[in-house]
Amino acid sequence: MRNANPFHDLLVRVADDHNDVIALRTRTGTVSYAKLLRLIDEGTERLEAAGIPAGVPVAVRLSGSLDSVVALLTVLCSPHPVLPIDSASPAERTARLIEVAGAVAYPGEDALPSATMPREVPGTAVLMFTSGSTGTPKAVRQGVVQWMHQIDELGRELGIGPGHTVALAMPVSFGGGLDIALTAVGHGATLCLSHPRTDGVAELATALAEWRPDGLHLTPALLRALLADPAGADALATVDLVGTCGEAIGSGEVATLRECNAGITFVNRSGSSETGNLAFNTYGPRRRLPDGTVPAGRIAEGKTVLVVDDHGLPVPEGTIGTLIVRSPFIAQGYLTGDFPGGEVREHNLGDRGSVTGNHLHLAGRGDDTVKIRGYRVDISEVVGAIEAIPEVAEATVIARYGAAGAELAAYLATTPGTRPPSVAEIRTTLASSLPSWMQPTHVILLAVLPRNERGKVDRTRLPEPAGRPLYVAPATATEGLLAPIWEDLLRVAEVGRDDDFLALGGDSLTVVELITRIKATFATTLTPSDLVGAPTLRAVAEVIDRHHPPALDGDVVPLTAVAAADDHRPLLFAFAGAGESALAFGPLAQCLSEFRVIGLQAHALESRGLPDWTVGAAARRFVHHVLEICPPGPYRFVGHSLGGVIAVEVARLLAAQGHHVEHIVCLDTIFDGPLAARARLRLPAAVGLASAPAAAPGDPVQDTGSAALWRRRLALVSAGWWRRPAKEQWSLFHDLGRRSALLHRLRPWYGPVTAILAEDNPDNPDCWYAYAPHCAGIHFVAGDHNAMLRPPYVARTAQLVADAFTGPA
């Protein structure tokens, strides 16, 4: 039987030229072109005998078998549109697609239902449903003109022709698979069919070794799996060309492919059910690979891609916008209506991207561009950054919306054969490549990403991220110092008392780093077993407090454990700055192992009581503690910020009682500002930052209205009596310290002093010779006012402190 059908006419010509050539091959059988044409003619006769009206779609269940492919080709050569149905499609979904299309089952296909009301779809060759990964699938009407153009173009772009063997490891029901199947048959090549979803990667590797194809076409996900299989990597060594489509692919996978076969050519195909081929990007063996994701590439022949803004107006070349495709070779439309434009139709892709010359750059779906904290974020850039991590095989990122607005959830599968990175490690890596607003709120590790029957990531099956508990601010000094450590290690914001370390992404390696940071900050040595049963910030802080020597009267904090009863190391008293916990000296104490360091902090900072409102009152209280701990002296003091001035006043009181103060080290005490307001000495002008205007006593910092002013004053009056969250408590005591500085009258101190200043200290160094005429030295260290007490800068600070007391080593 011969019928007037372009597909049939093409196969007749191919069969006449390649009669005995194998057209279709699986591991279990072959079909020659002569036999294929005979089977198709027999099939079209059965279709005619079934009495199916012309134009009514015929559904074919495609399992990867020879019979199913022959059935598909048969319908294409008939007056009926073909509706490809994937064998893995659930029965309920299959029935729904057939009903929507108004299709009938291929004769003899008992596993498929027929629509209750068949409908005619004249002039259509293929009905292809979109993947439906984010919504309801839509039936795309693809015409004969589109397919004949596509077969011709793919033959040229992929080098498919007579004498070639083409391996297809994608479902033929998938648009990218149907492309290759029809192109191979339409050009007289041998099409080798593999069904890795049911047969597995090992079976595909065995088949490739047997077939030794010239070209292999598969999804990026399957290519990754094949590269991870030793047998698969060996099988790729004889392939000349590998092509992928359906999803973006990273250049890392192509580089790995080249390691298996240095002479291989890689082709990235971009397209859609609506547009057919959209772009090609071919990488020969010597072409340099790009960083990150492989771009879409050169725009397909006969197609024009327009880039427009949100108002539909053209944008300048290279500018990202919404993509619109115009061509006579795109789909006719959906079942619900034609695409606009007549012969040269137009389709809005819904994708964002840019065009430079004739090259297309995709930037993700239009609905993948979201606003995060006021910033526009292209999700494809986030995906690219995640997939650049060597241990990550593939990733997808989606926007989720809640009461706080949009947030990103990243789902990723790790590379087989590598140690899966922890969530904390992933966040740390992303922090170096993405701004904060582009970093995912949730990072979820999966064994594999769920996929639909077309091989695309199925977003509907991605698990919901686990929620965090309601934020409760750190309440103790230990919690307040510990929270920033968690935030830094885990790369998350606003760690609260009830947040769980493991739930935030920590693992055994991160726990080790946490223990190191705890030791540096609190001078407390813990083991992983100490943290068993302490998952939350609150619980870990309690463990630290149990291991840390207790404070005396809430003001005195021993920062160095006594090694033995006869521990005769010299004492060093460390005076904290305004609103600072003495625990801030923990890293310094850790470095000063030759001293026993005793921390002194503001009264009532951690215990109930009336705060000291003046520097003099604080100094008198600390004199009592110093004499109680070490009556005979001599005394060595170190003070940070305002603590340096307090240390000098304590020394002045001790000297008046006949005690010897050996040396004082002031750490970044700043004269420019409140301390200069009532100084009884002439201080040289600041050389760094402009001097801050002196605030009147009692005026709060940063208060802008009378209501806020009185609220702050009330809080200051009650400071020490009402316990507040740690950060709020520290802020109040910082204001108290600032007020005491405003009231203090600086006087010269004639004892030995060393000044160690942060690199951004605004003072003229000559201030120190006005304040301490016998100043032994002025040194600058890297890091800012607080960072000089933390790793990595604290080591240099500690060395200078030690040198001041004992002399250079």
SS3 124: coil
Q: In angstroms, what CA-CA distances link 195 with 201, 222, 761?
A: 9, 11, 69
Structure tokens at 363: 């930037």
- How far apart CA 125 and CA 57 sit, in angstroms, is 9
- How far apart CA 81 and CA 103 sit, in angstroms, is 9
The pLDDT value recorded for residue 134 is 41
Domains (range + CATH), the chain: 373-461 (3.30.300.30), 477-547 (1.10.1200.10), 556-806 (3.40.50.1820)
Which run of H or E residues covers position 365? strand 359-365
- CA 102 and chain centroid, separation: 44
Among 187, 180, 186, 235, which residue's Cα sits nearest to residue 213?
235
- How far apart CA 64 and CA 169 sit, in angstroms, is 9
**What single-letter DSSP state applies at residue 184?**
H
Structure tokens at 303: 């197609």
The pLDDT value recorded for residue 533 is 64
- How far apart CA 283 and CA 268 sit, in angstroms, is 8
- How far apart CA 47 and CA 80 sit, in angstroms, is 9
Chunked mean pLDDT (size 10), the chain, 809 residues: 77 94 94 96 94 95 91 96 87 87 93 93 92 61 96 97 95 91 98 83 90 94 85 89 89 92 96 93 95 91 93 92 95 92 89 92 70 66 86 89 72 82 81 76 87 79 82 85 87 84 71 82 73 80 76 68 66 92 82 90 79 91 92 93 96 95 96 83 60 35 51 61 66 85 92 94 92 94 86 86 86
SS3 334: strand
- Mark residue 570 as left, alpha or beta (left: phi above 0; alpha: psi -120 to 50; beta: remaining): beta
Among 287, 649, 600, 246, which residue's Cα sits nearest to residue 454?
246
- How far apart CA 487 and CA 489 sit, in angstroms, is 6
Determine phi and psi for 444, rounding to 5 degrees: -120, 120
The pLDDT value recorded for residue 688 is 42
In 3-state terms, the chain is what percent helix, strand and coil (to 5)?
A: 35, 20, 40
The pLDDT value recorded for residue 708 is 59
SS3 556: strand
DSSP strand pairing (297-299 vs 276-283): antiparallel
DSSP assignment of 762-785:
-S-TTHHHHH-TTEEEEEEESS-T
User: Do residues 73 and 54 lie in contact, with contact meaning Cβ atoms separated by under 8 Å?
Assistant: no
Among 499, 496, 491, 362, which residue's Cα sits nearest to residue 438?
491
Whole-number CA gyration radius for the chain: 37
- How far apart CA 516 and CA 526 sit, in angstroms, is 9
Sign of CA dihedral 61, 64, 70, 76: positive
Which run of H or E residues covers position 757? strand 753-758
- How far apart CA 137 and CA 568 sit, in angstroms, is 79
Diameter of the chain by CA atoms?
Answer: 122
Structure tokens at 519: 């030791």
Strand partners, 444: 411
Angle formed at CA 499 by CA 509 and CA 402, multiple of 5 degrees? 115
Structure tokens at 778: 């002025």
Count the Cβ atoms, other than its own, within 10 Å of residue 522. 25
Among 729, 704, 702, 708, which residue's Cα sits nearest to residue 718?
729
- How far apart CA 280 and CA 270 sit, in angstroms, is 6
- How far apart CA 336 and CA 136 sit, in angstroms, is 13
User: Do residues 408 and 440 lie in contact, with contact meaning Cβ atoms separated by under 8 Å?
Assistant: yes
SS3 55: coil
Where are the alpha helices (H) located in 417-525, listed in sequence order? 423-431, 477-490, 508-522
